[in-house]
């Protein structure tokens, strides 16, 4: 009887841990894409969203056939002026400047859809709009998580699952 209670407690502990926010570190073989808004004003956040949509489409076209981190780096470096031209075009009527930089950049901890992404320095393409004091938007360029979203029409039905939780649920619910 004591073993049965211990097993139940152990399983409940596992379920509790699985249901808590998972902490995820983006792998070293990933390249992020981040846009920092000028401020949190509705106007600046709208501009950030417009820039994000425009550049996601450009980057999707650029990276859609990329298979390795090395080739993704090469394509980004070879086409940084194309990306900049696209950004120039998007920002021409805006009231502030921007910077674009490809390299290692700090990302704060972020929780999104129940998953916590660890803070740290990550290889990324960083666009800073104006002062860069507003909320940011980011995704993973390679492997192409956000660039796939640029092609998707409805991504609101994406679900994140835990393999361990599915096994436990299958046998105990």
- Hey, which residues does 32 pair with through a beta bridge? 124, 140
What's 23's DSSP letter?
E
Across the beta sheet with 31-36, the strand order is 98-107, 120-129, 31-36, 136-142
The C-alpha atoms of residue 127 and residue 151 are separated, in whole angstroms, by 21
Q: Round to the nearest angstrom and report the end-to-end CA distance of the chain.
A: 21
Report yes or no on whether pTM surpasses 0.75. Answer: no
Across the beta sheet with 110-112, the strand order is 22-24, 115-117, 110-112
Q: Are strands 115-117 and 22-24 parallel, antiparallel or unpaired?
A: parallel
Q: Are 26 and 32 in contact (CB under 8 A)?
A: yes
The C-alpha atoms of residue 56 and residue 135 are separated, in whole angstroms, by 18
Per-residue pLDDT of the chain (173 residues; tens, 9 = 90+): 666 565 655 555 555 555 554 555 566 678 999 999 999 999 999 999 999 998 988 888 888 888 899 999 999 999 999 999 989 988 888 878 999 999 999 988 877 677 778 888 999 999 999 999 999 888 888 877 664 443 444 434 444 455 555 555 655 55
pLDDT of residue 110: 79
Domain boundaries, the chain: 18-152
Kindly state the helix (H) or strand (E) to which residue 33 belongs, with its residue range: strand 31-36
**How many CB atoms sit inside 10 A of residue 83's CB?**
18
């Amino acid at each position: 009887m004591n073993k049965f209670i211990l097993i139940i407690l152990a399983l409940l502990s596992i379920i509790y841990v699985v249901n808590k926010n998972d902490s995820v570190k983006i792998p070293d073989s990933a390249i992020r894409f981040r846009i920092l808004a000028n401020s949190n004003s509705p106007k600046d956040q709208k501009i950030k969203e417009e820039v994000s949509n425009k550049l996601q489409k450009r980057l999707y076209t650029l990276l859609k056939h990329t298979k390795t981190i090395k080739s993704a780096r090469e394509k980004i470096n070879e086409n940084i002026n194309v990306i900049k031209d696209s950004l120039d075009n998007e920002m021409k009527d805006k009231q502030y400047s921007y910077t674009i930089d490809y390299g290692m950049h700090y990302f704060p901890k972020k929780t999104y859809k129940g998953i916590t992404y660890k803070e740290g320095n990550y290889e990324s393409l960083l666009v800073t709009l104006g002062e860069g004091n507003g909320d940011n938007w980011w995704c993973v360029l390679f492997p192409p998580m956000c660039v796939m979203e640029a092609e998707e029409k409805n991504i609101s039905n994406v679900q994140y699952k835990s393999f361990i939780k599915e096994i436990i649920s299958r046998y105990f619910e």
